Amino acid sequence: MNLSDRIKHQVDANFDELVATRRHLHSHPELSFEEFETTKFIADKLKSLGYDLQQITETGGYIDIRGENPDSKVIALRGDIDALPIHEKTDKEYASKNDGVMHACGHDVHTTCLLGAIQIIDTMKDEFEGTIRCIFQPGEERLPGGASIMIKNGVLKKPQVEKIMGQHVMPLIDVGKVGFRSGLYMASADEIYIKVIGKGGHGAHPHQNIDPVYIAAQIITQLQSVVSRHAKPSIPSVLSIGKVIANGATNIIPKEVSMEGTFRTYDEEWRNKAHKLIIKTCNETAQIHGAKCEVEVRKGYPFLKNDEDLTTQTINWAKEYLGEDNVEELELWPAGEDFAYYSQEIPASFYRLGIRNQNKFDQTMLHTPTFDIDEDALKIGAGLMAYLALRELNQ
């Protein structure tokens, strides 16, 4: 029996356990950097396999699966463990028991698949050379990102990790399939906070006031020129204002308006220039109209770049494991992901796991209160992660 068939056989045998693990995690979600019970659950699972979780943050840690000649090559697999501040609106028996917290981004799946991959790889320690570091990472959903903290605390050191792979669920891909993209894939993600301070008063006498609502509207319009008239057409960029609070009334012009938004792109030099342009545009637009403006651009995750050599290999290995028709090429995805920090340090490959099955249920997108998966994806996620790691060490 070849490696692929052996892994698939083990995945099938472990499937009920994978489902139970995922459902437990889904029922007990915890917010970023508060994943204490989640980490305890993971540690207990690993303990049953003979591994002690090496914690390097309050809720994050790793184990090393050491094969023959363990220092010859070290690679890493990553799973994130945190949930989102969303009230779940499904009627599933495994729906969240923690009100206002939900695994709406699939991190319960990522954690389950990594645990499943460990269970498989552990049975083959005498068949590969090197070490596989399995990282359980907190805080992907919240700045500064758990990846940045774990890297700072040495998760890629002692011994030095040479390459890393990770996966993320994708509701636009059918279960049984996966997606890859070589090179640039996900955008940097920065948060914009703006406060326009004017002079409030009666809505019937606008000439006596400095209207921050009108000025905020002008700022929103002018900000669009940051991308449309300053970015190189070859650099994808997005600038969106998603929240505006004015708190006036039909006859009240408020004193202040607050706004929040996001800026995303794929080039660090342009990113830094755009931050300055955003601040300048806001301040100058407010000043023209006699108002003041407070602007903060909170720098988020960097762009995620998949190493071309490693990703070419992972694509070929995924085709070996799943069949060529089940491996798709992805488009640029302008969401942010703190796995990008790893990709800035060492060669990385971050791919997408299909979870959609329209014959079973209507799939909703990530970060929605009705998000769910076809649990057959657990077989693909656990098995492929194990296969990629073993192929990388045995090539």
Q: Is 82 a catalytic residue?
A: yes
pLDDT single digits (tens) 163-176:
999 999 999 999 99
Helix, strand, coil proportions of the chain in percent (round to 5)?
A: 35, 30, 35
Catalytic residue among 30, 35, 88, 140: 140
Return the CATH class of domain 188-301. Answer: alpha beta
Q: Is 52 a catalytic residue?
A: no
* Over residues 42-50, mean pLDDT: 98
pLDDT single digits (tens) 60-106:
999 999 999 999 999 999 999 999 999 999 999 999 999 999 999 99
Return the CATH class of domain 3-186+303-394. Answer: alpha beta
* Over residues 152-167, mean pLDDT: 97
* Over residues 117-132, mean pLDDT: 96
- Which residue in 207, 101, 147 sits closest to 339, CA to CA? 147
Task: Write the single-letter amino acid at 279.
Answer: I
User: What pLDDT shows up at residue 101?
Assistant: 98
Catalytic residue among 82, 256, 307, 374: 82
- Which residue in 226, 315, 231 sits closest to 266, CA to CA? 231
User: What pLDDT shows up at residue 148?
Assistant: 98
Domain boundaries, the chain: 3-186+303-394, 188-301
pLDDT single digits (tens) 325-353:
999 999 999 999 999 999 999 999 999 99
Residue 245 neighbours by CB distance under 10 Å: 12
As a whole number of angstroms, the distance between CA 226 and CA 238 comes to 10
User: What pLDDT shows up at residue 1?
Assistant: 85
User: What pLDDT shows up at residue 21?
Assistant: 98
